[in-house]
Amino acid sequence: MIDKLRAIAIFATVVEQGTFRAAAKHLGLAPSRVSETVSELERALGVTLLYRSTRQLSLTHAGRVLHEKAVQMLDTVESGLDAISPSAANPRGALRVTAPAFVTQTTLMDGFADFARAYPGVDLHFDFSDAPRDLIGDGYDVAIRAGWPQDSDLMTRVIGGAERLLVASPDYIAKRPVPTRPEDLETWDWIRFTMRPAPTPLSDKTGKTETVLGRSTLSVNSADALYQYAVRGLGLSIVPENLAWQGFERGELVHVLPEWSPKPLGLHAVWPDTSRRQTLTMLFVRHLAEAA
């Protein structure tokens, strides 16, 4: 029974990591041993769990059923270990985190670095991408999300905020009349961020809000790309404050309608309420929230 449970745990890791090689590296085993273990498990159960191809693995129906049960089993085991050994003094384990790419240029990186220094026994694996990741499907323990909370089954905690500024290049602005209010920007070119709605509400210091649609033939899924295209004179862009000030200091960007501001983005940590690494996840989230 012990051997079978070990094989099931290895099988679950293969599914989580996506390949035998990645699973072997994660487990510290030889790839051939991981492959053999899954094959032996299939023979013992009399079913095929994985379809193999040269590029990827996919689950059979039996594989999906077993994987679902395996995840539940591992959740229970790790929760039990957490209950009797909270590891508050010297936590150990691996934590997979995904965050927007623009975060690498914010003070949130200080929080990540402080956590790494404070808990050297935790193996941290970061994925920085402005493209949204599937927190559960891609096997992440916690995600940093920029935006506003929506109804979901995920746990959420505020860990900070990110101001955004409306910018354009000096050359682009020089070719147009000086805007005095948001409606003047309706005929300007907008560089859109694909994960945000096209109508853009702008608010002044009194709280008055006006919404601009504008025109757009260019959209991107990266905050850095918003910056780069704005610098090249392709139109208006709303970028995180840290990137905007970088452009101001270099003389590459100008603050457009500084009296009117886009809604700030909240920074949130989100994680499944049944996380297998619940203790590490909560420790990480609490550390970031207290540092904010």
The answer to whether domain 164-262 has CATH 3.40.50.300 is: no
CATH topology of domain 93-161+266-291: D-Maltodextrin-Binding Protein; domain 2 (3.40.190)
- Please give the pLDDT value at position 13: 87
Q: For the chain, what are the domain ranges?
A: 2-84, 93-161+266-291, 164-262
Structure tokens at 150: 């929506």
Structure tokens at 15: 């599914």
Per mean pLDDT, which range of 32-36, 83-87, 160-164, 198-202 is the poorest?
Answer: 83-87
Above 70 in pLDDT, residue 193? yes
Could you read off the pLDDT of 33-78 as tens digits, one per residue? Answer: 999 999 999 999 999 999 887 667 888 999 989 988 887 787 677 6
**Is pTM beyond 0.85 here?**
no
On whether the CB atoms of residues 145 and 114 are closer than 8 A, the answer is: no
Q: What is the mean pLDDT of residues 226-246?
A: 94
Task: Name the amino acid, one letter, at 223.
Answer: A
Could you read off the pLDDT of 138-147 as tens digits, one per residue? Answer: 888 899 998 7
| 164-262 has the same fold as 2-84 | no
Could you read off the pLDDT of 204-223 as tens digits, one per residue? Answer: 988 899 999 888 889 998 88
Above 70 in pLDDT, residue 84? no
Contacts for 128 with CB less than 8 Å, ≥ 6 apart: 98, 99, 100, 101, 103, 104
- Please give the pLDDT value at position 205: 87
Share of the chain above pLDDT 90, in %: 46
On whether the CB atoms of residues 217 and 189 are closer than 8 A, the answer is: yes
Contacts for 119 with CB less than 8 Å, ≥ 6 apart: 91, 283
- Please give the pLDDT value at position 79: 60
Scan for tokens 């025109």, then name that residue.
Answer: 215
Interatomic CA distance for residues 143 and 130, integer angstroms: 12
CB atoms within 10 A of CB 36: 14
Interatomic CA distance for residues 143 and 98, integer angstroms: 5
Could you read off the pLDDT of 122-131 as tens digits, one per residue? Answer: 999 999 988 8
* CATH class of this structure's domain 2-84: mainly alpha
- Please give the pLDDT value at position 275: 59
